[in-house]
Amino acid sequence: MKGIIFTEFLTMVEQAHGFDMVDTIIEKSDLPSGGAYTAVGTYAHTEIVSLVVNLSQETSTEVPVLLKAFGQFLFHSLAKGYPSFIAESTNILDFLEQVETYIHVEVKKLYPDAELPKFECSRPHSPNQLHMVYTSIRHMEDVCEGLIMGSLEHFGAHATVERQSLDDDAELFIITLP
């Protein structure tokens, strides 16, 4: 997993709880990297799991709540860091479709070792309702929900987001515009 995910996670923790908390969870997590992340480095995704589990214990907040909050925070950082990927689209549903067909394709060109999820998008019922089927061996469904919420905020869209686990280890997100 790319270092930018870790540096943004630790930035979020620092903003919410201060640097001592960053120090505490790094120490408690016993990380192979030692917690010294650089944005372009690559680290085991299990390190983020350890950090989140320790943050959950320290703050008495459930892991899924933290992961969703992180996804939301991360979207705004990615939007600032890669503004050109977002300027391409205007409509939120078109934008979300482009995560698979354009944004993550460009990310993979920039960072060939990036580990990205797979999205299958369709609009089976209405042009105002997007179905996104998320698949990833890293199972970051909660981060994904947060990223979707962050993009809705960014686009000022008031869509509803529903979630459903599918049989084949995938998660369906249904985003519906009013």
Q: What is the binding site for ligand HEM (CB under 6 A)?
A: 1-2, 4-5, 78-79, 82, 85-86, 96, 99, 103-104, 107, 114-117, 136, 138, 140, 143-144, 147-148, 151
Residue 4 or 22 having the CB closest to ligand HEM: 4
CA separation, residue 54 to residues 7, 10, 51, 76, 147 (Å): 16, 12, 5, 24, 22
- Tell me whether residue 7 or residue 59 sits nearer to ligand HEM (CB atom): 7
Q: What is the dihedral of CA 73, 63, 130, 169, to 10 degrees?
A: 140
Between 22 and 143, CB nearer to ligand HEM: 143
| Complex with ligand HEM: residue 11 or 24, whichever CB lies closer | 11
Nearer to ligand HEM, 53 or 114 (CB): 114
Rg of the chain over CA atoms, in angstroms? 16
- In the complex, residue closest to ligand HEM by CB: 136
- Interatomic CA distance for residues 157 and 169, integer angstroms: 29
Residues in the chain: 178
Beta bridge partners of 133: 120, 172
| Cβ neighbours of residue 106 closer than 8 Å, sequence gap 6 or more | 85
Compute the least distance from the CB of residue 7 to ligand HEM, in Å. 11
CB of 151 vs ligand HEM, minimal distance in Å: 5
Residues 88, 130, 71, 101, CA torsion sign: negative
SS3 category, 164: strand
For residue 152, the minimal CB distance to ligand HEM (Å) is: 10
121 backbone dihedrals φ, ψ, rounded to 5°: -110, 145
Q: How far is the CB of 27 from ligand HEM (least distance, A)?
A: 23
Provide the minimum distance between the beta carbon of 170 and ligand HEM in the complex, in angstroms, as a whole number.
12
